[in-house]
Structure 1
């Protein structure tokens, strides 16, 4: 098993190096001269000498491998460059926004986890009855509506009409509810079907039929016998939906005026701030690689088949 985990870690490190190459290449291959853009932001009447000075400051005249090595060394120490728009360092600005996005994704993940287990277990407990039908309908609606539409509906219903929660900003726990549900409803819908279908398949296997023949009630079989069998599948699906929530943060954060990494990423694209875009992409890709590594390790520990393959 340890050899299998070490292989996963090795593959993740290789992917991380390739991710840094991708992020660096995207900025290097961007159209136009970055030095000209910076000079125009600093002064509308910038001269050719000013542009050359900026090129020397940024090392734009150095060979590509040298530029990549310098950028990678700086990224490892937290130096992600200077914002073309504000002239400030990207690293501290990004560090102050990561907790906001982390709180949004963690809250959405909690909502998705709880709702998916409730609806999935209710459907498996009373198959083809009204809890199962209601859960299926809610899952269909949740998986069909995009996040920005869900957010607009929640804002109109609970903030504008009922005036129960704030519409935007970080004003305390009450302001977390709508963003969490907005980003967590779609993953909850998908995961609830994973739980429902997985439990139904597990209840049709011989060990579950034997437990029923022994007189055990359905609830005990679902929790004690069926749930461990769907754990690897659920962990895999939960990891994939967490990635969906990170992408959804790019839409949800501006909708609720949360100044996280997604909002910073959109601002960088709007103002052609390539250093900000590069740093945000590096954070996103690194998170996806780490998430996949954690999912793989979780599946190894919960799936006996994978452990036997590793041994």
Structure 2
């Protein structure tokens, strides 16, 4: 098992290096001259000398390998540069915004997990009945509606009409309910089908038929025997949906006026603030790599075949 984990850690480290190269290459290859943009932000109709001065200050006239080395060294030390638009230290901006994005994604993942289990087990307990049909309809609706549409419906229903929850901000637990529901509804729909199909297949296997013959209830068979068999598949699907929720945060954060990393990324794209875009991309890719690493390790412990393979190696 230790050797398998070491291989996953090595691969994750290589992916992180490739992620830094990708972030740097995307920003460097962006059209236009960053020095011209910054010079004109400082002084309209900037002269050639002013543009050249900006290039000297930011090191934009140095070889790419030197620029990449300086940026990577700074990133490892927590120095991700300065925003071209605001002049604010990007590392400080990210540190203040990262908890908001993490709260949104983690809360959305918890909501998606609970709702997917509820829908999946409801369909598995009463196959072909009203509960199963209702879970299928909800899953179909959830997978068909984009997050911004779900958010608009929730805001209109729960914030405008019923006035149960606030529609913006991040003050207090109640302000997070609608964002969690918005970002977690689509993943919950996908995961509920993973649970439903996995339990249905497990109930057709010999161990379930034997348990039924011994007189165990369907409820007991589902929870004691069938549910553990779908755990690796579910964790793998949950990891994929966790990555999708980070992308969904780009839509959800502006919708609820949440000042997270995704909101900062959108501002960087809007104002062509390439240093901010570069830093946010690095944060997103790092999150994806770490999430996949954790999912791989979790599956190793949940899957008996991988455990035996790890023990044999």
Deviation at 1:308, TM superposition (A): 2.8
Q: Quote the residue 1:134 is aligned against.
A: 134
C-alpha distance after superposition, 1:258-308 (max 9, x if no partner): 010111111111100101100010000010000100110011100011223
Map 1:8-47 onto structure 2 (within 5 A). 8-47=8-47
Map 1:92-107 onto structure 2 (within 5 A). 92-107=92-107
Give distance in 2, aligned partners of 1:163 and 1:210: 52
Give distance in 2, aligned partners of 1:27 and 1:142: 35
Q: Does 1:236 align with 2:273?
A: no
Q: Quote the residue 1:223 is aligned against.
A: 223
RMSD, aligned CA: 1.0
Map 1:1-311 onto structure 2 (within 5 A). 1-310=1-310, 311=312
Deviation at 1:45, TM superposition (A): 4.3
Task: Name the TM-score, length of structure 1 as normaliser.
Answer: 0.98
Give distance in 1, aligned partners of 2:220 and 2:207: 13
Give distance in 1, aligned partners of 2:163 and 2:228: 42
With 172-181 and 232-241 compared, the bigger mean Cα shift is at 172-181
C-alpha distance after superposition, 1:1-58 (max 9, x if no partner): 1111111111111011000000001111111211111111112143322222221121
Structure 1 segments, 4+ long, off by >6 Å, are none
Give distance in 2, aligned partners of 1:170 and 1:2: 41
With 8-17 and 169-178 compared, the bigger mean Cα shift is at 169-178
- Gap runs ≥5 in structure 1: none
- What SS class does the counterpart of residue 308 from structure 1 fall into? helix
C-alpha distance after superposition, 1:48-104 (max 9, x if no partner): 222222211211122111111110000011111111110111110111110000000
Deviation at 1:236, TM superposition (A): 0.3
Give distance in 2, aligned partners of 1:165 and 1:211: 46
Give distance in 2, aligned partners of 1:140 and 1:42: 52
C-alpha distance after superposition, 1:117-147 (max 9, x if no partner): 1111111111111111111111110110000
Give distance in 1, aligned partners of 2:66 and 2:84: 21
User: How many residue pairs are counted as aligned between the two chains?
Assistant: 311
Deviation at 1:170, TM superposition (A): 1.6
Give distance in 1, aligned partners of 2:46 and 2:82: 19
Give distance in 2, aligned partners of 1:292 and 1:167: 32
Give distance in 2, aligned partners of 1:7 and 1:171: 42
- What SS class does the counterpart of residue 52 from structure 1 fall into? helix
Task: Name the TM-score, length of structure 2 as normaliser.
Answer: 0.97
Give distance in 2, aligned partners of 1:157 and 1:207: 46
With 162-171 and 224-233 compared, the bigger mean Cα shift is at 162-171
Give distance in 2, aligned partners of 1:90 and 1:39: 19
- Gap runs ≥5 in structure 2: none
Give distance in 1, aligned partners of 2:199 and 2:45: 68
